[in-house]
Amino acid sequence: MALTETLDRQDMTPTVDQAASYPLPAPPRLAGLADAVATGLTVLLTVLFVMVQLVGSYTGIVYWAVQGSLGGVLLSAFVPGFGAASLLPVIL
């Protein structure tokens, strides 16, 4: 009986030691030079890819519009390399 009375009378608020036992979150890692270079290179290649796609589309649309082919214009709008590939025999 004495054991039960002792357990019932314990204070249920956490002590300072229990509150301090939770781990602190790790500090954020600072980005190094390699991460900055990799991010910059990724952005550069993405922008270059988009620019080449747009230029290819525009070139194909203009080429096929001059030729009078509506199908070529539509195909060049969806397949950017089609305009550049169609100009290759003309250039060579």
Q: Which residue has the higher pLDDT, 14 or 80?
A: 80
Which has the closest alpha carbon to 87: 54, 60, 49, 53?
A: 60
Residues 37-48, mean pLDDT to the nearest whole number: 89
pLDDT-derived band at 66, boundaries 50, 70, 90: confident
Question: Is the pTM of the predicted complex or chain greater than 0.75?
Answer: no
Domain assignments of the chain as residue spans, ordered by start: 41-92
The CA distance from 20 to 22, in Å, is: 6
Q: Which residue has the higher pLDDT, 1 or 82?
A: 82
Q: pLDDT at residue 44 above 90?
A: yes
